[in-house]
Amino acid sequence: MNKPLFIHIVDRLSNDVQYFREKKDGLGRISLSPLQKCTAAIRVLAYGCAGDTVDKYLRLGETTTRLCVENFVEGIIYLFGDEYLRRPTHADLQRLLYVGEHRGFSGMIGSINCMHWEWKNCPTAWKGQYSRGSGTLNDINVLDRSPVFDDIIKGQAPNVTFYVNGREYLIAYYLTDGPKAVLFAQRQEAVRKDVERAFGVLQARFAIIKNPAMFWDKVKIGKIMRACIILHNMIIDDERDEYTQFDVSEFQQREDNGSSHVDLTYSKDIPTNIANMMDVRTRIRDRQMH
């Protein structure tokens, strides 16, 4: 990332997170600076190195470096998560629908995929779930337990209308991996390159999520992944004006006669009870309807 962005992150953390504030001990000696702590954390995230590798460069021991990483990712999520992991607005959804229809998939709002991050220190009882081999959490298993569709089931998602072959549909969808129809697979693979490249860029930028995870706590591993995504989005936003190798018009919504639209009048005040949730779930899984 650019230096001004990194300094901005250091300033926010030093002002709003207690751990990164400069303190004095009982003898009046100044503690580690916020810049030291943030630099140690970002080096571990970017290079995927062990905690003791920053000792000579930053004068931090392994335990202190680990604490820096844990507090750094929690601070990033707390300070920047609402902005850089926000839900799409109605305008965002309408733009995504336009791009999807322009690419040949009416009602499509994006691509969804799974990236495997091996857990080196995974307990033996969970080893089949978090490491490669039999019982791994593959795309289908992850989607089955994923909260991605919870808003739709609870009736809290915006309503989307689109038409295919003259028939009206009311639920937007993602493209995912694994279709068996050859022609459909050829068409959708070309469109799903965006999510594959996004994972590739994320792993290239933060080696910690490319190498086997060394942390012992599953919750901390999840926070590291979220923080890396937030940092990635911050870098993209900071460097957006420098990109010149894409056609801006492809991502801008124009006046068109497309069939995909977000229904702004749709009420999201549906009571969240078991009967309504089961009804929506049944409609989502209705093969005859879709």
In this structure, the number of other CB atoms found within 10 A of the CB of residue 127 comes to 15
- The contacts found for 140-144 with CB under 8 angstroms, 24 or more apart, are 140/178, 142/114, 143/112, 143/114, 143/176
- Structure confidence at residue 124 (pLDDT): 78
Answer yes or no: are the C-beta atoms of 168 and 82 closer than 8 Å.
no
Answer yes or no: are the C-beta atoms of 261 and 97 closer than 8 Å.
yes
- Structure confidence at residue 264 (pLDDT): 66
- Structure confidence at residue 58 (pLDDT): 83
What is the strand order of the sheet 167-169 is part of?
167-169, 159-164, 261-263
CA angle 204, 206, 207 (to 5 degrees): 75
- Structure confidence at residue 44 (pLDDT): 92
- Structure confidence at residue 135 (pLDDT): 53
Residues in the chain: 290
Axis-axis angle for helices 62-84, 218-239 (nearest 10): 60
- Structure confidence at residue 118 (pLDDT): 82
Structure tokens at 83: 């902005």
Per domain, the residue ranges of the chain are: 90-207
Per-residue pLDDT of the chain (290 residues; tens, 9 = 90+): 899 999 999 999 999 999 998 888 778 888 889 999 999 999 999 998 887 888 878 888 888 999 999 999 999 999 999 999 988 888 888 888 888 888 888 888 888 887 778 888 788 777 666 766 545 566 667 777 778 888 888 877 788 888 888 888 888 888 887 666 777 777 787 788 888 888 889 999 999 998 888 877 889 999 999 999 999 999 999 988 776 665 666 555 555 567 788 876 665 666 677 888 888 888 888 888 87
Q: In angstroms, rounded to a whole number, what is the distance separating the alpha carbons of residues 72 and 17?
A: 9
